């Protein structure tokens, strides 16, 4: 019998890694020491330190009617939002995808809400999900909250290429052990490493998923593409991996997690979507049924002003074109910072993980006390086993040379 106020299942809950808390600590420290470098949180900032907000978004927020601002969102989202998500996510591959797959879109509270719903609904309690060994740490919290565990494969080989051999071995072993595979891939613009998988990598990933599915084992691909719109190769190239989806077998479920919060710099408004794809009508019917239920049970409905603004952008080609131009400006800011960082890293012989896009640069480290060492030298980052996650999205150009020297000192 449990005599404590907390239920037995919650007795061991404790936040071991809290990125947002570390970021708050960094902001507080920076107020006392303005020269401190805060490279913690995944937000796009301008050179003046303020958030990189988009004029298209800000203008529309100010123009919303009372109904568009204050009413509840439809549980299934507005038609402009649902249809717009499909257009935006798949881009030039939309026609091929919609022809080949049954699709359902479920609005969620950010990409995190989509991940949470999927982990809860598409695993049995006590099973484990498979993720690379370098990952966004809240995946663990979301998994444990869903009563499932986490198993990992080595993300990189010795040349910092995606480790297809270890992925295949670990995927087959876990699927055979628990008669289910739930794979989490954050691509492109991986958080925390900055990795972008090559199309050839995706070809092999799809082959492995099909190999497992043909054994009669349920296979779920959770594809977290939170930072897709910040890949350096551009809008279309970031979506080329969807060509490989066309080879998915009938009973595989692809659950794509879209983050409107990231794409539109609406971080605090929490808006996203869970997009289900399968060639099986029954699989998508099940996806829609359990997803709709969980939205109502977990958070009722999503942020109405955010849905209204994004829906208006998606539904208006002129507004969409202007917004895409603003996104290009943000990518250019990122590109300048990354180019300077890479030049400084080369000069200082600082080893880094190859960067393909997104808000983060990954830096390998063997220093187990690296977080405290960097704080002592006025730098806040997020550290993970064997890795420094540097949010280049929030670092000013004039901070980069000093930042590289300090990290090199403690790497």
Is residue 377 classed as helix, strand or coil in its secondary structure? coil
Residue 356: per-residue pLDDT? 97
Is residue 30 classed as helix, strand or coil in its secondary structure? helix
- Distances 363 to 131, 211, 380, 381 between C-alpha atoms, Å: 19, 34, 14, 11
Residue 225 contacts by C-beta under 8 Å, 6 or more apart in sequence? 89, 186, 187, 188, 256, 257, 258, 259
Mean pLDDT per segment of 10 residues, for the chain of length 411 residues? Answer: 86 80 88 93 92 97 97 92 98 98 97 96 98 96 96 96 98 98 98 97 98 98 98 97 98 97 95 98 98 92 95 98 97 98 98 97 97 96 96 97 98 93
Of 334, 340, 371, 325, the residue nearest 356 (C-alpha) = 334
Residue 148: per-residue pLDDT? 97
Residue 15: per-residue pLDDT? 80
Domain ranges of the chain: 8-54+320-410, 65-317
Ramachandran angles phi, psi of 185, nearest 5°: -125, 125
Residue 75: per-residue pLDDT? 81
Pick the CATH number of 65-317 from 1.10.579.10, 3.40.640.10, 3.40.50.10420, 3.10.150.10: 3.40.640.10
Angstrom distance (rounded) from CA 329 to CA 189: 17
Do 65-317 and 8-54+320-410 have the same topology in CATH?
no
Residue 270 near residue 110, CB atoms below 8 Å: yes
Angstrom distance (rounded) from CA 238 to CA 228: 6
Residue 254: per-residue pLDDT? 98
Q: What is the pLDDT of residues 297-343, one digit of tens each?
A: 988 889 999 999 999 999 999 999 999 999 999 999 999 999 999 99
Give how far the C-alpha of residue 85 lies from the chain's centroid of Cα atoms, to the nearest Å: 16
pTM for this predicted structure:
0.96
Residue 262 contacts by C-beta under 8 Å, 6 or more apart in sequence? 42, 111, 226, 227, 229, 230
Residue 170: per-residue pLDDT? 98
Residue 2: per-residue pLDDT? 83
CATH architecture of the region 8-54+320-410: Alpha-Beta Complex (3.90)
Residue 121: per-residue pLDDT? 98
Token pair 């190999």: residue: 211
């Amino acid at each position: 019998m449990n005599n404590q106020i907390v239920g037995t299942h919650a007795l061991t809950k404790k936040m071991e890694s809290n990125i947002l808390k570390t970021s708050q600590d960094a902001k507080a420290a920076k107020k006392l020491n303005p020269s401190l470098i805060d490279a913690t949180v995944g937000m796009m900032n301008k050179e003046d330190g303020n958030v990189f907000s988009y004029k298209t978004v800000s203008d529309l927020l100010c123009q919303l009617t009372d109904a568009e601002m204050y009413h509840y969102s439809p549980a299934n989202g507005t038609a402009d939002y649902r249809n717009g998500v499909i257009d935006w996510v798949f881009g030039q591959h939309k026609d091929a995808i919609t022809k080949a797959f049954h699709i359902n879109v479920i609005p969620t509270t950010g990409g995190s809400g989509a991940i949470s719903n999927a982990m809860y609904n598409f695993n049995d309690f006590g099973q484990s999900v498979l993720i690379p060994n370098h990952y966004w740490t809240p995946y663990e919290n979301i998994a444990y909250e869903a009563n499932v565990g986490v198993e990992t494969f080595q993300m990189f080989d010795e040349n910092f290429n995606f480790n297809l051999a270890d992925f295949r071995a670990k995927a087959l072993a876990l699927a055979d052990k628990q008669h289910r595979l739930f794979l989490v891939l954050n691509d492109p613009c991986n958080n925390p490493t900055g990795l972008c998988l090559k199309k050839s990598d995706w070809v092999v990933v799809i082959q492995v998923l099909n190999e497992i599915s043909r054994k009669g084992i349920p296979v779920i691909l959770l594809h977290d593409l939170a930072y897709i719109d910040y890949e350096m190769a551009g809008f279309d190239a970031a979506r080329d991996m969807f060509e490989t989806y066309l080879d998915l077998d009938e009973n595989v479920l692809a659950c794509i997690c879209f983050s409107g919060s990231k794409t539109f710099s609406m971080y605090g408004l929490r808006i996203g979507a869970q997009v289900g794809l399968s060639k099986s009508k029954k699989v998508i019917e099940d996806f829609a049924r359990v997803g709709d239920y969980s939205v109502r049970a977990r958070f009722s409905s999503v942020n109405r002003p955010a849905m209204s603004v994004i829906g208006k952008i998606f539904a208006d080609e002129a507004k969409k074109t202007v917004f895409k131009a603003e996104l290009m400006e943000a990518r250019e800011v990122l590109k300048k910072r990354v180019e300077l960082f890479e030049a400084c890293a080369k000069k200082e012989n600082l080893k880094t993980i190859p960067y393909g896009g997104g808000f983060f640069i990954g830096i390998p480290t063997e220093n187990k006390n690296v977080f405290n060492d960097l704080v002592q030298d006025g730098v806040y980052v997020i550290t993970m086993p064997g890795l420094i996650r540097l949010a280049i999205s929030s670092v000013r150009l004039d901070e980069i040379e000093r930042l590289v020297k300090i990290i090199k000192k403690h790497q």
